[in-house]
Amino acid sequence: MSTLTEPSMPQPVRRATELRFLTAVRTVFALEMKQRLRGKGWYWMLGTWFVVIAFIFVLATGLLGTTDNEGGILFDLIVGFVLFFGLLVSPGLSANAVNGDRAGGTLAILQVTLLTPGQLLMGKWLASWVGSLAFLIVSSPFIFWALALGGVSAREALVSLLMLALELAVVCALGVGISALANRPLFSIVSTYMLVALLAIGTLIVFGLSTMLVMERHIMTVSSYSYPEGSFDSMGVPEEGAELECLTHTYESEVPRTEYITWILAANPFVVVADAVPYSTEGLPDEPASGSPQAAYLTDGPYYTPGVMETISQGVRSAQAGPDFEQTCEESQQALRPLPQGTPIWPLGLGIQVALAAGLLLLARRKLTMPARRLAQGTRIA
């Protein structure tokens, strides 16, 4: 007598599936990193970068030796320079990640394995990102040096470095996506550089040209401390005993309403990094140190020297606020003090960049799916 047994249905194990995905990504990542580390050009690039940033840092330290906020300025300088150099290097590290293997005849070998297009793209993106982060790691001695000088809080430093790493990750994702869509490595590298230039420089050009479209005529009231007209001698020098007065001037002028077009700058990588940092105003006096605002205006008032990235942040916040139609004497004194941070613009900019990178990667994943229905003429298969 035979007994019939129903075949048991295999139950999918989610953890095993995740492990296979991570293992595949790690395999592609390891292959990419071994290929990069095998060449001597990689080490020459890192060595050249270290020498360049060391020269700039030492030169800036000598020039800023007597400046207030020296540590903050130097830290901002390093962050801005690493971001600038990263925007130049990251396309070269990622824009030939896929079509470079296609040109070398190794991409087809990876495609016929159990690797999925998503795993292949993820591993190559991760390798490109780690390669770009190497320049940030090489700059770490100068970062710690700037932090030791003071003027930068731990929160500012952490957010700056985190946003810098995210921007490098986005640029690498753009390069990997374009490298899978383009058939030639040279075309993908040029296209990635053009896209990065559009974000970093094109947004500034469009913003500058757009100011002519939002010009409006308004009555401006500007107040500032100055000497009365009758208190100057024949040489134009204020007479002894003359006191500063708050003088008000009213005139009509055309001013750009920049609050309507500041969103154009959102996708700029420098704006994203600078606007995300919560710059601290600790250590700045709330009131003039000498009792009278006139004396503080002339001597040791609340003067503040921002860094490179902080200057970008202040410029964006000023553009968000729009023109000041009524400027008081107190506001004229505080022209070099940090502006209060209103609605941040960096989430919009980072969202635009991530959406663009995700769209390119999705298109790239579709193109790498095998078997391919159509191939461009002259495309190498193996």
What integer pLDDT is reported at residue 26 of this predicted model? Answer: 87
- Nearest CA-CA partner of 124 in 194, 81, 188, 80: 188
What are the CA-CA distances from residue 343 to residues 27, 69, 163, 316 (Å)?
Answer: 43, 26, 18, 11
Element (H, E) at 165: helix 154-181
3-state secondary structure of 337: coil
Distance CA 382, CA 368 (A): 14
- Type of residue found at 129: W
Q: Helix (H) and strand (E) counts for the chain? A: 15, 3
pLDDT string in tens for the chain (382-residue length)? 445 444 444 444 444 444 477 888 888 888 888 887 777 777 888 888 889 888 888 888 877 766 677 778 888 888 888 899 889 888 888 888 888 777 777 777 777 777 888 888 999 999 999 988 988 888 888 888 888 887 788 888 899 999 999 999 999 999 999 998 888 888 889 999 999 999 999 999 999 999 889 888 878 777 777 766 666 666 666 666 666 777 777 877 788 888 889 999 999 999 999 999 887 655 444 444 443 444 433 334 445 677 788 888 888 888 888 777 777 776 666 555 556 666 789 999 999 999 999 999 999 888 877 655 565 555 555 4
Cβ–Cβ < 8 Å for 196, 171: yes
What integer pLDDT is reported at residue 281 of this predicted model? Answer: 56
With both helix axes pointing from N to C terminus, report the angle between 269-276 and 346-368 in degrees, rounded to the nearest 10.
130
Question: What's phi and psi for 218, nearest 5 deg?
Answer: -140, 160
What integer pLDDT is reported at residue 352 of this predicted model? Answer: 94
Distance CA 338, CA 315 (A): 10
Query: In this structure, what token pair is assigned to residue 233?
Result: 């001698």
What integer pLDDT is reported at residue 233 of this predicted model? Answer: 61
What integer pLDDT is reported at residue 291 of this predicted model? Answer: 39
Q: How far is CA 178 from the centre of its chain?
A: 20
Please write the tens of the pLDDT for every residue from 266-294: 999 999 999 998 876 554 444 444 434 44
- Nearest CA-CA partner of 227 in 213, 241, 216: 241
Distance CA 189, CA 93 (A): 9
Quick count: other Cβ atoms within 10 Å of Cβ 1? 2
Query: In this structure, what token pair is assigned to residue 97?
Result: 């990640």
What integer pLDDT is reported at residue 99 of this predicted model? Answer: 83
Per the omega criterion (within 30 degrees of 0), is the bond before 371 cis?
Answer: yes
